[in-house]
């Protein structure tokens, strides 16, 4: 399907293109009222509140003076201001357990007051160092590993398209970042075609084998299997979809021969590559990898006393099995993967696992990627485009933005308590709807239009109070749908994201995954097989017997949180390309980064370096910045500090060209093009 830009469908109040992104503050009485409201829950004394009111005003004046003093002469003339270590599985949760009843939310009788910025407590902690963004007027690549980025640049220098560069990078990532993505996994992708001025969405999500049933992950006693038991082995393996998706897209938008795209990965696999610090840490920290014979032989070495030693950072690995696999696919296309000896090897590996699965040759041979309509909605003066279901990432991200559009977020400081509070609350509300209503649209009715309706999101926003946490939010009651339960499904962080712009202005935003780190831990033909089926709800119904949208079914795609995103500017041209790994926290990462770029006008590097906050409707506010703990607890949040290993890779266009930034939490890079005399100009 082809989608061309049209006037945006807003998900909340919008501003005209000439309106300032930093609107004027409300009158002083509103500020005083807000401070009084905050005084009780924050545990502030009255005299402290009075001082704070003065401090806020003088701080605003001080910041304005400081900003004026630091302007360059050119800026002074302008009228506008530019203003994963391994993670343990979360605590066990059962689908539908302790979920609030859905509520029919009434239209708000009053507009929620615009919040004012508040200083986090304990501001003696230094802010993290932020590197300057990388800039270029030419093509750019932002990829999770330097070697994959270099492969992408090699294709661009040879005259290849963004699609060619994506495929070359994805194959190298299979080799050098096997814990995150690869041939044995799936992906979601957005593609902007500059010539036709159109955007397409590509679904390479894994599917459940045809033999899968809703009780797949229930034990003999009828209770869900412990997550590690379900995850490791053949039961969790879905039909891989990434390669079929990439081949279908290459037929439409590739420029270079298919075989050429595999050359960098083949070279590295045969001649060796250095184990990165992150890969070494992931190998050493994984409790299940050594239990699988092929993975044990590849990722570990034997010490003099016979003990297993994980390959350390800097050691050199070769993977000749994978090089052979790449050569077959390069020569014969994706058919060599989905049929023939590679397919036979995948089926046998799954069937022979300690906890076997039911992947079949027919499942592989009949897999088809999906081309879908992208999901685009207006936010402020731009249009945010992302993936539709079966991923929940796009809908939930747009819901968060639609809810936040009812608050004066641009007037807040990025490190303020109120900004964190609103991001968490918007996340709780979006996840409440996600857990109840989102799944594979070919198996369940997914009310996307209703969930993104501006009136509906206004009623959701009206539930937020500035001085008190919602706690666990109830999903909205959508009367047109039959009763449905809400499932709390595990989705652990791994995954990889890349953003690429080529010489002609074509754009790719792709998020790919094998699900948890190292997927099922099953290895065959040099690559790891996914465990994406554990993204399904383990129970088919909730505690009340209501069916779950994300229940297992043969041929069904499990719900995801991946959210590759392309933002179109007022000129209806791509101006932001981004996405992230991170399991279900992807939604929080992408939404917060969009707020940073659009509302706070941060540059790309400052946006990816923002300390994360996340609300996933588990009655918990997750934070990175410890300074937020006490003020958030004071307004009713249960707070946990979490190491959130996002891997955002951003490209951002302005009048000088494309700027890039890679998340400092991982090993991603942004690289300029390789300059050659025969390169297209």
Catalytic residue list: 495
Residue whose structure tokens are 């590759």: 564
b/e for 165-196, b at 16 or more Cβ within 10 A?
A: bbbbbbbbbbbbbbbbbbbbbbbbbbbbbbee
CA–CA dist 574, 572 (Å, integer): 7
The reply, when asked if residue 647 is annotated as ligand binding, is no
- Asked whether 648 and 589 are in contact (CB, 8 A), the reply is yes
How would you class 48 by CB atoms within 10 Å of its CB: exposed for 0-12, middle for 13-18, buried for 19 or more? middle
CA–CA dist 205, 241 (Å, integer): 5
Q: Where are the alpha helices (DSSP H) in 286-438?
A: 293-299, 320-332, 335-338, 341-351, 361-365, 393-404, 417-437
- Helices 162-176 and 320-332 pack at an angle, to 10 degrees, of 150
Residue 138 sits at φ, ψ, to 5 deg, of -95, -165
The reply, when asked if residue 471 is annotated as ligand binding, is no
CA–CA dist 528, 231 (Å, integer): 13
Q: Is the dihedral of CA 572, 576, 582, 584 positive or negative?
A: negative
Tokens of 643: 């190491």
Helix, coil or strand: residue 159: coil
**How many CB atoms are located within 10 Å of the residue 559 CB?**
28
| DSSP assignment of 563-632 | --EEEE-TTSSEEEEE----GGGHHHHHHHHHHHHHTS---HHHHHTSPPEEE-SSS-EEES-GGGHHHH
Q: Where are the alpha helices (DSSP H) in 440-565?
A: 448-451, 454-461
- Asked whether 250 and 290 are in contact (CB, 8 A), the reply is no
H or E stretch including 42? Answer: helix 28-42
Tokens of 130: 């932020």
Q: What is the dihedral of CA 147, 153, 158, 159, to 10 degrees?
A: 150
The reply, when asked if residue 535 is annotated as ligand binding, is yes
- Asked whether 181 and 668 are in contact (CB, 8 A), the reply is no
Tokens of 519: 């997927």
CA–CA dist 44, 38 (Å, integer): 8
The reply, when asked if residue 537 is annotated as ligand binding, is no
The reply, when asked if residue 560 is annotated as ligand binding, is yes
Binding residues for L-glutamate are 205, 535, 560-561, 583
Binding residues are 205, 535, 560-561, 583
């Amino acid at each position: 399907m082809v989608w061309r830009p049209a006037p945006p469908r807003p998900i909340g109040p919008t501003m005209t293109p000439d309106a300032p992104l930093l609107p004027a503050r409300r009158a002083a009485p509103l500020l005083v009222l807000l401070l009084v409201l905050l005084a009780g829950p924050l545990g502030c004394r009255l005299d402290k509140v009075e001082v704070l009111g003065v401090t806020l005003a003088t701080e605003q004046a001080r910041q304005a003076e400081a900003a004026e003093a630091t302007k360059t002469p050119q800026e002074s003339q302008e009228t506008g201001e530019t203003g994963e270590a391994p993670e343990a599985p979360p605590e066990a949760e059962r689908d539908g357990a302790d979920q609030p009843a859905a509520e029919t939310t009434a239209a708000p009788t009053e507009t929620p007051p615009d919040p004012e910025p508040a200083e986090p407590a304990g501001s003696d902690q230094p802010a993290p160092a932020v590197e300057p963004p990388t800039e270029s007027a030419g093509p750019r690549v932002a990829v999770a590993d330097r070697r994959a980025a270099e492969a992408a640049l090699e294709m661009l220098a040879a005259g290849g398209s963004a699609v060619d560069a994506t495929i070359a990078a994805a194959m190298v990532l299979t080799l050098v970042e096997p814990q995150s993505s690869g041939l044995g996994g799936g992906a979601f992708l957005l593609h902007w075609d500059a010539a036709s001025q159109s955007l397409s969405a590509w679904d390479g999500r894994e599917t459940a084998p045809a033999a899968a049933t809703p009780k797949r992950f229930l034990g003999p006693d009828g209770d869900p299997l412990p997550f590690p038991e379900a995850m490791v082995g053949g039961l969790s393996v879905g039909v891989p979809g990434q390669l079929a998706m990439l081949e279908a897209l290459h037929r439409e938008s590739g420029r270079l021969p298919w075989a050429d795209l595999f050359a960098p990965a083949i070279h590295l696999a045969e001649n060796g590559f250095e184990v990165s610090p992150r890969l070494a840490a992931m190998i050493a920290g994984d409790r299940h990898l050594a239990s699988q014979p092929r993975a044990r032989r590849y990722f570990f070495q034997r010490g003099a006393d016979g003990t297993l030693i994980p390959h350390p950072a800097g050691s050199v690995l070769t993977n000749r099995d994978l090089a052979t696999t790449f050569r077959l696919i390069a020569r014969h296309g994706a058919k060599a993967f989905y049929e023939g000896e590679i397919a036979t090897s995948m089926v046998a590996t799954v069937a022979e696992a300690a906890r076997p699965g039911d992947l079949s040759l027919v499942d592989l041979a009949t897999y088809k990627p999906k081309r879908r309509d992208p999901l685009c909605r207006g936010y402020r003066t731009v249009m945010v485009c992302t993936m539709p279901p079966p991923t929940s990432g796009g809908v939930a991200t747009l819901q968060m933005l639609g809810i936040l559009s009812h608050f004066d977020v641009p007037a807040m400081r990025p490190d303020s308590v109120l900004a964190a509070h609103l991001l968490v609350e918007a996340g709780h509300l979006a996840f409440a709807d996600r857990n109840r209503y989102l799944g594979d649209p070919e198996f369940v009715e997914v009310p996307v239009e209703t969930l993104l309706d501006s009136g509906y999101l206004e009623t959701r926003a009206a539930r937020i109070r500035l001085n008190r946490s919602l706690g666990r939010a109830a999903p909205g009651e959508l009367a047109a749908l039959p009763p449905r339960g809400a499932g709390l499904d595990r989705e652990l962080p791994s995954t990889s994201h890349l953003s690429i712009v080529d010489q002609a202005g074509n754009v790719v935003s792709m998020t790919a995954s094998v699900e948890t780190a190292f997927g099922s831990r099953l290895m065959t033909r040099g690559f790891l097989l996914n465990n994406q089926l554990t993204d399904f709800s383990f129970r088919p119904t909730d505690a009340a017997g209501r069916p779950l949208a994300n229940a297992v079914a043969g041929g069904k795609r499990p719900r995801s949180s991946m959210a590759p995103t392309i933002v179109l500017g007022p000129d209806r041209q791509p101006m932001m390309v981004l996405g992230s790994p991170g399991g279900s926290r992807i939604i929080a990462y992408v939404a917060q980064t969009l707020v940073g770029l659009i509302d706070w006008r941060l540059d790309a590097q400052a946006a990816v370096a923002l300390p994360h906050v996340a609300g996933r409707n588990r009655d918990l506010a997750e934070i990175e910045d410890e300074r937020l703990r006490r003020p958030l607890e004071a307004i009713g949040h249960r707070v946990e500090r979490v190491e959130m290993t996002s891997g955002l890779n951003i490209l951002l266009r302005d009048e000088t060209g494309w700027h890039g930034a890679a998340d400092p939490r991982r090993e991603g890079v942004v690289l300029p093009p390789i300059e050659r005399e025969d390169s297209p100009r």
